[in-house]
Amino acid sequence: MKNHRVLTLYYHRVNILESDFNQLCVSPTKFRQQMLYLKHNYRIVRFEDDWSMLDSNAVAITFDDGYLDNLEYALPVLEELEVPATIFVSTGTMGQDMELWWDELEALLLEGNEFPLYFELFDDQFSCRWDTSTLEYRKNCYMGIHHLMKSYISFEKRENWLMQLWKWRGLKRTVRKHYLTLSSRDCKELARSRMITVGAHTISHPSLAGLSRESQEFEIKASIDTIAQIVDQKITVFSYPFGNPEADFDQDTEKICRKYGIRKAASTENALWSASTDLYRIPRKVVRDWGPVEFEQKIRDYWNEQAGTG
């Protein structure tokens, strides 16, 4: 058995924001520097390729969520440098009438100057009251609500909570330009590039393991079907939202992916792919807004980390 490995990197956004609480953005300049370094130093492969046929170590590039800036800022760099990448798109915000829920939550709790002294959430199961008088307290509130929204409530309940927060702030629900995700037209344009593979990433970006089998199946199948219809091709790759094995996806999730034609699925397990890796648990390592020197060191560290590379 061959002992080569693949380092799969995952990005979210290529943009510059005033506030980036979740550290999702890499600036366009740094992204180009990072791609140049990888192109000059490593073999870059497509996520969907059969890596068992490789005869050397390699790197794969992926993006999660489907932000509009993937098209605006990442694609030109990828095409210029001829670097292939896979973009996993969450379909629920394609109408561009809402933001991804963690961005909306961040805007409601962490942006602006005038806040009520406390926020009281009304819910039949998770009612709670948070002190929101300072930024630090609001960060605590953000983390608490994020945790519940991610793993314990339905899309419908999440929407109800967000509307409670908009009312609490006394603001009209809006979508910020710099937080737009891909529309169906944008997604089609991405798919036309020979550098891009489009994959599915659920509808509403939940932690799948917290859902019933029926709800998991709906989130996965509907997102695959939507993307397939838009790009007019079969979708064979998928990325689990949040991506931690067992915590965010389980054996049921993997079986559902197989059922609907997925041949390879990406996790966020912090490891490298090797010939013995489960194709439905491809590990990936995150990339942040690192300059050239720090990025080079991080990549070297990623290759040298031995834990969990099987």
pLDDT average, residue stretch 165-176: 96
In angstroms, rounded to a whole number, what is the distance separating the alpha carbons of residues 152 and 84?
36
Share of the chain above pLDDT 90, in %: 95
Q: Which domains does the chain have, with CATH numbers?
A: 6-95+179-304 (3.20.20.370), 101-169 (no CATH)
pLDDT digits (tens, 9 = 90+) for 53-73: 898 999 999 999 999 999 999
pLDDT average, residue stretch 82-92: 97
In angstroms, rounded to a whole number, what is the distance separating the alpha carbons of residues 20 and 22?
6
pTM of the model: 0.94
